[in-house]
Structure 1
Amino acid sequence: MVQYPPEARSLAALLARYRQPDDARGIFELVITAVPFSVIWALMLVGVVRGHGIGLLLAVPAAGLLVRLFMIQHDCGHGSFFRSRLANDWIGRAIGVVTLTPYDYWRRNHARHHASSGNLDHRGSGDIDTLTVSEFAARSRWRQILYRLYRHPIVMFGVGPTYLFILRHRLPIGMMRNGWQPWLSTMGTNVAIAVLAAGMIRLVGLGPFLLVHLPVMILAASIGVWLFYVQHQFENTSWSRDEDWSFHEAALYGSSHYHLPWILRWFTANIGVHHVHHLCSRIPCYRLPDVLRDHPELANVGRITLVQSLRCVPKALWDEKERRLISFRDAKIGLVARHTRTQSNGSVAGPGIRRLNS
Structure 2
Amino acid sequence: MLQGKDLILATKPYACEERTKSWLYLLTTLCLLILALASTLLLPLPFRIAGSVLSGLLIVRMFVIYHDHQHHAILHNSRIANAIMTLFGIYILAPTSIWKRSHDYHHKHNSKLFSASIGSYAIATRQRFEQMSSGERRSYLFTRHPATIAGGYLFMFLIGMCWQSFTSSPRKHADSLLAMILHVAGSIAVFYFLGWQSWLFFILIPFTIACGIGAYLFYAQHNFPGVVFNDNENWCYDKAALLSSSYMQMHPLMAWFTGNIGYHHIHHLNARIPFYRLPEVMAAFPELQQVTVTSLRIRDIRACFRLKVWDPERQRMIGLREICDIRSAAQQAFRAPAAMHG
Q: Normalized against structure 1, the TM-score is what?
A: 0.85
Alpha-carbon deviation of 1:196? Answer: 6.5
Give 1:109's aligned residue.
Answer: 102
1:209 deviation in Å? 4.1
In structure 2, relative to structure 1, the CA distance for the partners of 1:88 and 1:40 (3 Å cut) is closer
Using a 3 Å threshold, how does the CA distance of structure 1 residues 147 and 268 change in structure 2: closer, same or farther?
same
Aligned amino acid, residue 140 of structure 2 = Y
Query: Counterparts of 2:331 and 2:78 in 1: how far apart (Å)?
Result: 56
- Do structure 1's residue 44 and structure 2's residue 40 form an aligned pair? yes
Indicate which of 139, 149, 168 corresponds to 1:146: 139
Cα deviation, residue 91, structure 1:
3.0
Cα 1:319/1:207, change in 2 over 3 Å? same
Residues 78-98 of structure 1: CA distance to partner in whole angstroms, max 9, x if unpaired?
Answer: 011214264553332121133
- Structure 2 residue aligned with 1:294: 284
Greater Cα offset, 334-343 or 134-143: 334-343
Partner of 1:35: 31
Moved more, 58-67 or 135-144: 135-144
Task: Indicate yes or no: 2:158 matched with 1:166.
Answer: yes
Which residue of 88, 97, 104 maps to 2:90?
97
Per the alignment, residue 22 of structure 2 pairs with: 26
1:205 aligns with 2:194: yes
SS state of the match for residue 240, structure 1? coil
Q: TM-score, normalised by structure 2?
A: 0.88
Q: Report the number of matched residues.
A: 336
- Distance in 1 separating the partners of 2:289 and 2:146: 28
Give the Å deviation of 1:173. 2.4
Partner of 1:318: 310
Q: CA deviation at 1:190?
A: 4.6
Q: Which runs of 5+ in 1 are unaligned?
A: 348-358
Structure 1 residue aligned with 2:225: 235
Alignment CA distance shift 1:129-1:297 (3 Å)? same
Equivalent-residue separation in structure 2 for 1:193 and 1:139 (angstroms): 37
Aligned pairs for 1:222-301 (under 5 A) are 222-301=212-291
Q: 2:172 aligns with which of 181, 191, 194?
A: 181
How far 1:233 moved relative to its partner? 0.4
2:116 and 2:166 map into 1 onto residues whose CA distance is 13
Cα distance in 2 between the residues matched to 1:338 and 1:14: 48
For structure 2, the residue ranges without an aligned partner over 5 or more in a row are none
> Hey, what does 2:5 align to over in structure 1?
9
Distance in 1 between residues matched to 2:83 and 2:331, nearest whole Å: 57
CA distance in 2, matches of 1:112, 1:130: 15
Q: SS state of the match for residue 318, structure 1?
A: strand
Aligned residue number for residue 328 of structure 2: 336
Q: CA separation in 2, counterparts of 1:146 and 1:188?
A: 28
Task: Give SS of 2:294's match.
Answer: strand
Structure 1 residue 124 displacement after superposition: 1.0
Give 1:211 shift. Answer: 1.9
Matches of 1:18 and 1:175 in 2, distance apart?
A: 40
Percent sequence identity is 25
Paired with 1:66 and 1:230, the residues of 2 have a C-alpha distance of 19
Residue identity opposite 1:42 in structure 2: A
CA distance in 2, matches of 1:220, 1:28: 22
Moved more, 76-85 or 161-170: 161-170
